[in-house]
Structure 1
Amino acid sequence: MNSRIPDQSKPVIAILTTSDRIRQFRGNRSNFRDIIRTGREQGYLVYVVTTRDLKLDERTVNGYVPSATGKLWYSSPFPLPQVIYNRISNREEEEKAPVARKIAECLEHEHIQLYNPFFFNKWNLFEWLKESRSTSKHVPKTRRLRSPQTIAAMLQQHDSLYLKPENGKAGKGIMRLRYRADSTLPFRLQIQTGKKNVTYKAASMDRLWARILREKGKTRYIIQQAIVLATHRGRPFDLRVLLQKNGRGAWSVTGVGARLAGARSITTHVPRGGSIEEPASMLEGTFGTERAAAILKNVPTTALLIARQIERASDNMIGEMSMDLGVDEEGGLWFFEANSRPMKFDEPAIRKLSLERIFQYCQHLARQNK
């Protein structure tokens, strides 16, 4: 680890996570190491802190930094941070009363800036984007899944639908429903488990609904029109956009990647068999050079519009998000998903800039009065 002396004029930054009885703290350690290394190279004092150790009424807190090899983590007293980068890894942790209380205290603290205070809920995202004319045209028809009647009403307009958990991530729990009027078993429900999926066929809405209830349990779901996506080598793909605020506190596009769906997958997520592709060459293969260039030019503009609308409607200060945009057969762009705690992008240039942007924005935040 680079042990450059921290620059006293720069803010102290803490990466927030939750504690773990066995492993000291939770979260993606390799990501934390990369963030700390990047911060040190730029003269920042950066450490990991748990919500339990972050005592806001004390001058120092117990934090963690990696050893020179990066294999071990040492705990040590550090000054109270001026900026907190929230990387709590899942919603269940964040909703626990002591954790939620600590985040609320940070948001109210007069000398601490915390960014990315919460995870997104899919239903809220689509509702927020429908509020603006400029973003509503990029949103597939979406309803809350409450009853078989909701499915019947949606199937009258669309013969293919997606069922998605409101608080899902990485494609978990997503189902696809197709209706084939000419079949004795007209309802086809594709259920994704890991890299495989099974198709359940039903003759009646009652049977279908019983199976959906079994799959979803108590989880709240949305139901959404399936967009016919452009394909590459016969498989659908979508674009992954990373947006972060820069040193001026303005939204900017850090990078655009592409994800191609796995052979039998109903989503493009890499853990479900999807693969990382190069956006320009993939779009060129489908649309030709000129059309591909026009689509790619449209991506940052659309993503920035959407990010600003999400932040405005959420009424919270958000520092970054990743976004999934689908490209239909005509080259139109559709919003599918945004994540307020982006996973790391594997594309090296995007990864490098994304780490630098964290500190540019932290520096901007530290200069703001609350």
Structure 2
Amino acid sequence: MLPEQQELITEPSSPNTKPVLAILTIDDDVQLFRGNRSNFADLIRTGKSHNFLVYVLTVKHLNFKRKMLEGFTYDEDNDLWIRQQFPFPDLIYNRIPLREDEMQPRTRQKIAACMRSPRVQLFNPKFFNKWSLFKWLRQSKMTRPYTPMTRRLLTQESLKVMMREFPYLYLKPISGKAGHGIMTIKVQSEKSLPYLLKVQADKKSVTYNCATLQQLWQRIKKESGGERYIAQQGIRLAAFNDRRFDLRALVQKNKSGQWDLSGLGARVAGSLSITTHVPRGGSIEDPQKLLVSAFGQDEARRLLGKTRSAALMIAKQIERGSGHKLAEMSMDLGVDRTGGIWFFEANAKPMKFDEPEIRKTSLDRIFQYGKYLLRSKK
């Protein structure tokens, strides 16, 4: 029987003097709460090693009038999730897994209450919006050079103007995740079917050849299903064995409350995929190996340093633009064929990194920064 299907045991929690971190998620009628349970179990385990009490808290059970709240902890020996009463948290780590859950009125009210309350500090209030990210980054002359030209995809005419400037474009849903819904357009004016549209399916892409701009626009409208999109200048990425790759940076606040690079991974595109995301057929690789292969040893070392600096600069500007105190983000960065670095996306709720060293650092940093926040509050 799966852990989420097992019967939950209700126990009283023992008296607590430790700092308390609650992992915030959404309740679920079948599974009791939503989210990545192995990630939550890792957080509970790491919290113990940092002398924190950690539990899973649903929006439904977050009540500012109470000293004790109902939550869940993980019993590793018996592979069980246990329902208990826990102290009201000092820190809340927002891991609500879906945008639509976060947009529910009740959820928005509770998150707003967390941000107002002097009792609790909230990590990363909400998901990022792709359009907002590019607006914020273009406001600073330091981060503007890293951002591909990006516009909202509103009309057939706006697409025409963009294609005139850039014959290779990416179309991305404003609220997309893990490469879902991404399309590319290649303009080949010498051909009888000049517009080549590729649409990302599960682990491969589907290609449409369109004769006219109107045909292209109709196909894009059909594939987008009414979702809001951005159009972005296509970048010719460096490749490894003829497969494009990009870099995944995890940036977190450290024990001194400063932005720091927790790790840098790399993802290579699947042979039939237009994105490098692993769920879409991409694979994990060592960034140094890929950069050395594409640029040589010395240039690879220089590019790694440049990527680190860019990631930290971008994180600071995103935090500034958001107007909120942020704790972590992952970001997708590309290296073009001439060694230029580009920002593509940032995620306010990073997924688990598969690289063991990055994973360990990412868990430790949450509690190191948590201690910093609690010291600062005192």
TM-score (norm 1): 0.97
Amino acid at match of 1:11: P
2:346 to 332, 338, 348: 338
Q: Distance in 1 between matches of 2:79 and 2:171?
A: 41
Partner of 1:211: 219
Partner of 2:29: 21
Q: Does 1:255 align with 2:243?
A: no
| Offset, 1:8 | 6.0
| Offset, 1:70 | 6.1
Gaps of 5+ in 1: none
Amino acid at match of 2:128: F
Deviations 1:59-108 (A, max 9, x none): 10001001123622010000000100110001100000011111111111
Identity, % of aligned pairs? Answer: 50
SS, match of residue 263 in structure 1: coil
SS, match of residue 37 in structure 1: helix
Partner of 1:58: 66
Deviations 1:3-34 (A, max 9, x none): xx999664211000010011110000000000
Amino acid at match of 1:343: M
Q: Does 1:237 align with 2:245?
A: yes
Deviations 1:154-205 (A, max 9, x none): 1111111000000101000000001111111101100111002111111101
Q: Distance in 2 between matches of 1:319 and 1:42?
A: 17
Partner of 1:174: 182
Partner of 1:155: 163
SS, match of residue 134 in structure 1: coil
C-alpha spacing 1:137/1:195, structure 2 compared with 1 (3 Å): same
Partner of 2:307: 299
The correspondence of residues 35-114 of structure 1 with structure 2, limited to 5 A, is 35-69=43-77, 71-114=79-122
Deviations 1:99-135 (A, max 9, x none): 1111111111111001110100000000000000010
Alpha-carbon contact 2:16-2:87 (below 8 Å) kept: no
Alpha-carbon contact 2:246-2:276 (below 8 Å) kept: yes
Alpha-carbon contact 1:245-1:320 (below 8 Å) kept: yes
Partner of 2:6: none
Partner of 1:138: 146
Mean Cα deviation higher: 336-345 or 209-218 = 209-218
| Offset, 1:367 | 2.5
Q: Distance in 1 between matches of 2:306 and 2:234?
A: 22
Amino acid at match of 1:79: P
Amino acid at match of 2:257: G
Alpha-carbon contact 1:6-1:43 (below 8 Å) kept: no
Instruction: Give the ranges of 4+ consecutive aligned residues of structure 1 lying more than 2 Å apart after TM superposition.
Output: 5-10, 68-71, 367-370
Q: Distance in 2 between matches of 1:298 and 1:177?
A: 30
The correspondence of residues 222-233 of structure 1 with structure 2, limited to 5 A, is 222-233=230-241
Amino acid at match of 2:333: L
Q: Does 1:33 align with 2:41?
A: yes
Alpha-carbon contact 1:6-1:45 (below 8 Å) kept: no
Alpha-carbon contact 2:153-2:229 (below 8 Å) kept: yes
Q: Distance in 2 between matches of 1:75 and 1:7?
A: 16
Deviations 1:260-281 (A, max 9, x none): 0000110100001000000001
Q: Distance in 2 between matches of 1:309 and 1:254?
A: 18
Partner of 1:313: 321
C-alpha spacing 1:209/1:252, structure 2 compared with 1 (3 Å): same
Alpha-carbon contact 1:87-1:341 (below 8 Å) kept: yes
Deviations 1:273-294 (A, max 9, x none): 0000000011101100001010
SS, match of residue 254 in structure 1: strand
| Offset, 1:249 | 1.0
Q: Distance in 1 between matches of 2:84 and 2:246?
A: 43
Amino acid at match of 1:32: F
CA RMSD for the aligned pairs? 1.4
Alpha-carbon contact 1:6-1:44 (below 8 Å) kept: no
SS, match of residue 349 in structure 2: coil
| Offset, 1:368 | 3.2
SS, match of residue 304 in structure 2: helix
Q: Does 1:284 align with 2:292?
A: yes
C-alpha spacing 1:103/1:166, structure 2 compared with 1 (3 Å): same
Alpha-carbon contact 1:241-1:257 (below 8 Å) kept: yes
Alpha-carbon contact 2:204-2:274 (below 8 Å) kept: no
1:362 to 358, 364, 370: 370
Deviations 1:305-360 (A, max 9, x none): 00000000110111000000000011110000000000010000000010000001
Deviations 1:39-76 (A, max 9, x none): 01221111000010111110100010011236220100
Q: Distance in 1 between matches of 2:56 and 2:287?
A: 34
